[in-house]
């Protein structure tokens, strides 16, 4: 599954949960609480494949899953640029010190496995919107690879 199709599926799951909560008059704070890993792993088993193993993507004590997809991630399914003969498909827009450039054969992808920036509650509060697509509106790189 490419980045775009993953995000389309993920955004729909996110939207469905947010809709369910807003229909029950959850406040912003309650919605963020609901997306805490400890709650999501019990109540929203289909939201993340790691939930089936009760496993976190990052070892953060209060891991919040509202921004599972990080707003700083930039991607293109067709490639962003050529770097030394390889194709770069994603990068971190803030060049996080905890992120890494992953090289996989001819492909370059951003590796976020050691970066928990978007999983902290304070980050979610500062970037909150009910609509995940609005928060993520800069993520898909639209320029065609030259
Ligand atoms: S390295 Fe961190 S801040 Fe950058 S895109 Fe990945 S998770 Fe987000």
Print the domain residue range for 128.
3-135
Q: Which of 95, 140, 101, 113 is nearest to 57 (CA)?
A: 113
> Is residue 76 lining ligand 1, measured as CB closer than 6 Å?
no
> Is residue 139 lining ligand 1, measured as CB closer than 6 Å?
no
Cβ atoms of residues 89 and 3 within 8 Å: yes
pTM of structure: 0.92
Domain assignment present for residue 144? The answer is no
User: What is the number of domains present in the chain?
Assistant: 1
Cβ atoms of residues 120 and 96 within 8 Å: no
Q: Which of 20, 114, 126 is nearest to 67 (CA)?
A: 126
Domain assignment present for residue 82? The answer is yes
Domain assignment present for residue 140? The answer is no
Residue-averaged pLDDT of the chain: 95
Domain assignment present for residue 146? The answer is no
List, for residues 3-51, the tens digit of each pLDDT value.
999 999 999 999 999 999 999 999 999 999 999 999 999 999 999 999 9
Best mutation site among 96, 100, 139 for ligand 1 pocket (most ligand atoms within 8 Å of CB): 96
């Amino acid at each position: 599954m490419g980045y775009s199709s993953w995000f389309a599926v993920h955004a729909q799951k996110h939207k469905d949960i947010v809709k369910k909560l807003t229909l029950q008059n959850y406040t912003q704070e309650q919605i963020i609480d609901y997306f805490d890993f400890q709650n999501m792993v019990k109540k929203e088993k289909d939201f993340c494949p790691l939930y089936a193993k009760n496993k976190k993507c990052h070892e953060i004590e209060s891991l919040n899953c509202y921004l599972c997809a990080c707003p700083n991630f930039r991607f293109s399914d067709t490639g962003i640029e050529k770097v030394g003969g390889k194709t770069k498909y994603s990068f971190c827009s803030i060049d996080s010190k905890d992120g890494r450039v992953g090289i996989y054969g001819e492909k370059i992808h951003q590796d976020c496995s050691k970066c928990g920036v978007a999983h902290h509650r304070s980050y979610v509060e500062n970037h909150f919107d009910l609509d995940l697509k609005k928060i993520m509106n800069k993520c898909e790189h639209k320029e065609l690879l030259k």
